[in-house]
Amino acid sequence: MTETLERCRAVWGRTDRIAAPPTVRIVTDAVYRPGTAAAAWSLTGPDGTHLDGDGEAASDVAPADSAGAGPHLYLGALASHYGHFLVGTLGRLWPLLHWRGPPPRLLCHATDDPAALPFLAPILAGFGLTPANVVRFDRPTRIPHLVLPKPSLKEQAFAHAVHADLVRAIGAPFWKDAVVDGVTRPVYLSKARLASGISRLRNEADLEAALARRGVDIVYPEHLSLPDLVRLFSERRVVMGTAGSAFHTAAFAAPGRRILGLNWAPHLNANFPLLDGLNGTRGRYYHPVGSEAGPDEGFHFGWSVPDPERVAEELVDRAADFDGLDARDAGRARVGLGARIGRWLKRP
């Protein structure tokens, strides 16, 4: 019987690993200018050199305010979406691993209130900081002492070794008392109750029901705090779901997590193997053959699987034999290639 799930082999983007730490620069009298109707936001040096932001060179207007003498660690644009934060903003926090001296204020460009981001407080807590340490300015401001790091991770591109140290330091307190792999029953992370996002599985409710009938627990990640989600990843032997931001949480969890992901296309976004490699996560991603994708209100796109019952059956089967999947999938790939060659040779 031909299987519905096809292993994702092609990767969209790069997954470079860099042993050396990123560079960091100390800037004296940097100037932050928020966006206005006339110009985009920018960060510049005292001589007007562009350091970051959507704007270009500094204007001739002297900044009205000073941020004070204490150190400021630059975060760049503060992403309010959980997944975008993990592959964007988080990569500027690595200097906190070896910080010495007065605790820094965290300078960012943000349109949303940082205190409203539920994942931010637990991430900062391990460094003795809170969202109150995050600052944003609504007028041109001089920063006497700015720590300007290059990011330790760039989405679909690279990860420095120190980024693995960063996520481990953040996540370790969340799972230190967990019984790792103590729950053998698989769990499925569902997006079915999200009103908006990047993607949604249109018939996910049908897939949920089919999985539940086969003994899989259904969890909605947005209902859990970050520490609870990290603990769940650590305690469960296998975590299932559609490929999305929730899977990036495995980087904070106990090493060696097992993930079964459903992907809307045969090619996989490089962010998944990039983050999986930080913590030894064993992500195995599959494309349901015959899936359809298209526009979906509230999401960048929506997609559907052709046969939820069949997909559920194959997911549960793979969860039971997770450690044998590489050999199984390699064998199927050889058989599939042989069949394609055979069909080609029969052509006139």
Within this chain, do residues 185 and 69 fall inside the same structural domain, yes or no? no
* Size (the chain), residues: 348
CA proximity to 329, closest of 313, 309, 314, 344:
314
φ, ψ at 146 (rounded to 5°): -115, 125
Within this chain, do residues 276 and 188 fall inside the same structural domain, yes or no? yes
Instruction: Give CA separation, 196 vs 73, 193, 298, in Å.
Output: 32, 9, 5
Within this chain, do residues 263 and 133 fall inside the same structural domain, yes or no? no
Strand-strand pairing, 105-109 and 134-135 = parallel
**pLDDT at position 341, please?**
38
Within this chain, do residues 124 and 100 fall inside the same structural domain, yes or no? yes
State how far the Cα of 97 lies from the Cα of 86, in Å rounded to an integer. 17
Within this chain, do residues 334 and 189 fall inside the same structural domain, yes or no? yes
**pLDDT at position 337, please?**
43
For the chain, residues with pLDDT lower than 70 are 1, 56-62, 333-348
State how far the Cα of 317 lies from the Cα of 29, in Å rounded to an integer. 60
CATH of the domain at 229: 3.40.50
Within this chain, do residues 120 and 205 fall inside the same structural domain, yes or no? no
State how far the Cα of 149 lies from the Cα of 197, in Å rounded to an integer. 30
**pLDDT at position 333, please?**
64
Per the structure, the complete domain to which residue 189 belongs is given by 5-15+177-346
Beta bridge partners of 301: 199
* 112 is a domain residue: yes
State how far the Cα of 5 lies from the Cα of 242, in Å rounded to an integer. 13
How wide is the angle at C-alpha 6 spanned by C-alphas 321 and 190, nearest 5°?
75
Identity at 260, one-letter amino acid code: L
CA proximity to 262, closest of 241, 239, 292, 233:
241
State how far the Cα of 191 lies from the Cα of 197, in Å rounded to an integer. 9
**pLDDT at position 175, please?**
98
CA proximity to 249, closest of 78, 96, 82:
82
State how far the Cα of 41 lies from the Cα of 275, in Å rounded to an integer. 30
Within this chain, do residues 81 and 147 fall inside the same structural domain, yes or no? yes
Within this chain, do residues 9 and 31 fall inside the same structural domain, yes or no? no
Within this chain, do residues 199 and 255 fall inside the same structural domain, yes or no? yes
What string of H, E and C letters represents the secondary structure of the chain? CCCCEEECCCEECCCEEECCCCCEEEEEEEEEECCCCCCCCEEECCCCCEEEECCCCCCCCCCCEECCCCCEEEEEECCCCHHHHHHCHHHHCHHHHHCCCCCCEEEEECCCCHHHCCCHHHHHHCCCCCHHHEECCCCCEEEEEEEEECCCEECCCEEEHHHHHHHHHHHHHHHCCCCCCCECCCEEECCCCCCCEEEEECCHHHHHHHHHHCCCEEECHHHCCHHHHHHHHHHECCEEEECCHHHHHHHHCCCCCEEEEECCCCCEECHHHHHHCCCCCEEEEEEECCCEEEEECCEEEEEECCCHHHHHHHHHHHHHCHHHHHHHHHHHHHHHHHHHHHHHHHCC
The count of domains in the chain is: 2
* 238 is a domain residue: yes
CA proximity to 75, closest of 31, 43, 112:
43
Write out the two tokens for 199: 């993607």
Is the separation of the CB atoms in 191 and 197 below 8 Å?
A: yes
CB count in 10 Å sphere of residue 5: 24
Within this chain, do residues 143 and 215 fall inside the same structural domain, yes or no? no
